[in-house]
Chain A
């Protein structure tokens, strides 16, 4: 007796396939368990294809996956507790390491939450530059996703192609922010420093080259028969199930729901940017892959638009002028007593954020990244909680894995684009 019928190209299903009673655990049905032929295997935390330290306890009946449970927590770092011990300024370094592929989106969400509590307005140059860097980060994240997802399915050379462009993006980050990854560039109020002079020509060069690079990637796998065999019709998730399971980002858009926080709740400068939100309706791994590719192209468009605007903003302030929160410019420290006092207070005690609680969301490359901040009015956060899209995406593994084979498991988990740092925080 087999579970999955003949392997035809499956299409999106009606109704719901969320397992009961536990939505995140696919349990072996009684009739299969009665055959005594079920093999539980451990897809352990150290595995080349699990995108980090994810453990899947899988029950196999032949090659069919009949039971699945995801065990996480192998990268639990205690970010939230650590951030309660640090001042607001120092705490900004922590969120970057949560989702280590889209580090600037994490910084952004925490900084936006601080600014919301402070009711602090950021100057337009900061907004546009933040948008530009977040979109570059989106391209970076999708490149690493594509490289590793393709690597796991056997399209090994894609890895080198993707990482070549990734190095170009990291060069841009290094030029602006001083370091390749975990660029601590966003401050409460704007940017840490002004944009360096060499940035615009280099960024333009990248923006002209990138669409051709995406053409190259699509040329490698888009119509490749093996790729299509391994991705079309697998890992199906209907729109209704996706919303019930809290999915967002490419997973939701690959299931046919036209939802992108950059367009429905615009933050930073997205309201002034002209871009398309790609949506596919098949709900399978291939649809999510297509959404990622098209998002890379749209991000390049947004980057070009940001560069157009930023080049005209030479000489404008890059950070808010509020001296109680933002460090004064260094030249002033030699002449102004108040600046010296402000500098001292901010560096030693840190600024205080008024009492309140906020929940801020941004569209990270993985979906809806949220930050819930509670402040007691003091120099340290009282509670910071991050809503990680990958945490929620892993909840959907059980639903996506109905009628999957062992080999498909890797493709499906890969398409959910999870980063374990985010999942475990």
Chain B
């Protein structure tokens, strides 16, 4: 599947049977409009944001599981320490697209932004993006440029902070265990 016709794509990644097109935030709307009109991705399934602050901080052992057990000859099955590949910027915003048609296909369009850098709205391309972008703003603090109604959606209107960021504490109360006293 060639993605050469899509404007603004800087990288194409394939993993786990899924394709990810990485675009710059500036060319996001153009790429999405092209995908909707020319490639038939008429359905925006989800806008998922992720915060990579602290990514790759510690080594973890990579392992691939199979139904019949560990394959000793596959790379990375010996439980070697490896660190996750570092990310260029802090936040990733992934647009999960689907083409509701005779040939269903899924695609992920991903942009990367830093703290405070805005992402243009795709509400003109898919009206369903409205609340997803409000959630991205509320939970991760990613400002969306051009959104007609960018207010908090899940938390209270006067909430401070963006809860799903990695530097926002989990909150709650410390739990006292009876045997501790």
Contacts and interface: CB of A to CB of B under 8 A. Distances in A.
A–B contact, 8 Å CB criterion (strictly below): yes
Interface of A: 18, 21-25, 72-73, 76, 78, 80-82, 85, 116-123, 189, 243-246, 257, 259, 264-265, 320-325, 351-352, 354-359, 361, 368, 370, 372, 374, 376-379, 382-383, 385, 387, 391-392, 394-395, 424-425
Interface stretch (B21-29, B111-119, B150-158): B150-158
B70 A243 contact: no
B127 A376 contact: no
Nearest to A122: B67
Given A245-B127, A370-B45, A383-B48, 14 more contacts: A23-B130, A24-B131, A81-B168, A121-B67, A122-B67, A244-B128, A246-B43, A320-B65, A370-B46, A376-B60, A377-B60, A385-B49, A387-B96, A394-B131
Nearest to A319: B67
Interface string B117-150: 0000001001110110000000100000000110
Contacts of A356: 15-16
A403 B162 CA distance: 38
Contact of A359 (B46, B58, B149, B168): B46
Given A377-B82, A385-B48, A324 B16 contact: no
B17 to A, nearest CB: 8
A359 B44 CA distance: 13
A72 B60 contact: no
Q: Which of B45, B85, B149 has the largest count of A CB atoms less than 10 A from its CB?
A: B45
Interface of B: 15-18, 20, 42-46, 48-51, 55-56, 58, 60-70, 76, 82, 84-85, 94, 96, 98, 100, 104, 106, 108, 123, 126-128, 130-131, 139, 148-149, 152-156, 163-164, 168, 170-171
Contact of B55 (A376, A379, A391): A376
Given A368-B45, A383-B51, A352 B62 contact: yes
Contacts of B155: 73, 76
Given A117-B16, A370-B96, A24 B130 contact: yes
Contact of B100 (A72, A245, A259, A324): A259
